[in-house]
Chain A
């Protein structure tokens, strides 16, 4: 993968004609972000925002399928129904009265890195910043399901948000299997990084499915339905599916040969320095980045400063847990002049390691190719 540096991004933006910049779009509450769309907002974090363990909310990426709803917190209710003994309608206060859990978890769009696949694939052309790590706080989903008396025979739980489809666009409804729903770590967040969820991130209630693709983390949740089967709608039956067997790049895959995406892949990338950074020979260069392994903790990150010929372990950050990314750093003395390709590669506690090149797939999901970062050493 070859990424644009912040300097290149800003220089390019500055060089754009006024008409193309119409942009200088300002999103209230958000620091400068890469704009993929403005209505609804789809915004990507700049790589340098991703160097810290917690991503500040104002620098956190945004993905929306449908225009976000305006919600009156006082009138808000989440309805819990389907295969339950006592259908419930819970207010924000009701949810706050349940035991609360704070959990650090990384949220990543399934299509993060789609823009780096070849052949090109329709959809948001994310580079590497459709990812962030935050502290989420709210009641456990299992407690909410218990409150309504969810049936032991149920197999799935459907989540729908207050966002409303435009035209004939299908409702954005996602299901998760009961085995994930009942985990202690699957929560309904009321807070993000110590504050009530912002509108863009699902105020007042967002499902947190640690280690799973961002599409599962339904925002503005106002309906929870306990079911015998996964939802038959578009966003479970057609979208967010991955081939059981890898096709040749550009190839088609039959719907019956796809599985629903669940846990995310192991991956890593550099937050700093930017690609094509120039350094003086003899200087020490500090690389910083993150590794994450979906539902698994990160066991190691290795760095190569010779294009992948040899690898050395990076220093890992002290925060070490499943579901949340792990920071890493690596210092390198630039001893020889010339263009140098620096790579990073993560391995998780389940024994998974990044491939050199991620498998191409028709929707451009799970791009966890080893990053190649070019550094120019000047003699």
Chain B
């Protein structure tokens, strides 16, 4: 039983890291989030799965239509999870006269 659970755990991890799903999640983020706000606001964050779930819940309450929640969540956790290194800050170009 224990061995089966361990194998199941590996399977889940493998599924979570599925590159196709992550690509799908990235596209879904652009589609479902990018119409209302820039996606930089997610890319500068590093959050736990639980916190990303809460953020998705909030955005749905605020009007987002997320068609592929599993993919978007796996994308956010894989690329912007709280175990990922802090992102490199982006500096804007000089727009002052």
Contacts and interface: CB of A to CB of B under 8 A. Distances in A.
Contacts of B61: 168
Interface stretch (B3-11, B18-26, B35-43): B35-43
A251 interface: no
Interface in A41-81: 42-43, 46, 58
Contact of A35 (B36, B64, B91): B91
Contact of B96 (A58, A121, A167): A58
Interface string B57-92: 000011110000000000000000010001011111
A30 B46 CA distance: 27
Given A27-B95, A38-B40, A4 B45 contact: no
Given A39-B37, A40-B37, A120-B82, A12 B44 contact: no
A33 B37 contact: no
Looking at A119, A124, A127, A167, the one whose CB has the most chain B CB atoms below 10 A away is A167
Nearest to B39: A37
A308 B13 CA distance: 44
B89 A24 contact: no
A122 B45 contact: yes
A166 B64 CA distance: 10
A169 interface: yes
B40 A36 contact: yes
A10 interface: yes
B93 interface: yes
Interface residues of A, number: 45
A119 B40 CA distance: 21
A126 B41 CA distance: 11
Contact of B62 (A24, A29, A167): A167
Contacts of B96: 29-31, 58
Interface in A9-28: 9-10, 12-13, 15-16, 20-21, 23-28
A15 B89 CA distance: 11
B54 interface: yes
B64 to A, nearest CB: 7
Interface residues of B, number: 29
B47 A34 contact: no
B79 to A, nearest CB: 12
A26 B82 contact: no
A37 B40 contact: yes
Nearest to B51: A122
Given A36-B40, A120-B47, A27 B62 contact: no
Looking at B40, B47, B55, the one whose CB has the most chain A CB atoms below 10 A away is B40
Interface string A112-147: 000100011111110100000000000000000000
A43 B41 contact: no
B37 A23 contact: no
A170 B86 CA distance: 30
Given A29-B96, A120-B48, A122-B47, 17 more contacts: A4-B89, A25-B90, A26-B92, A26-B93, A27-B95, A28-B95, A31-B96, A34-B90, A34-B92, A35-B92, A37-B38, A40-B37, A120-B46, A120-B82, A122-B51, A167-B36, A168-B61
20 contacts: A4-B89, A9-B89, A13-B91, A16-B90, A20-B88, A20-B90, A23-B92, A25-B92, A26-B92, A26-B94, A26-B95, A29-B96, A35-B91, A36-B41, A36-B44, A37-B37, A37-B41, A42-B41, A122-B54, A169-B63
What are the nearest 8 A-B pairs in CB distance?
A: A167-B63, A168-B63, A39-B38, A58-B96, A12-B88, A37-B41, A38-B38, A26-B93
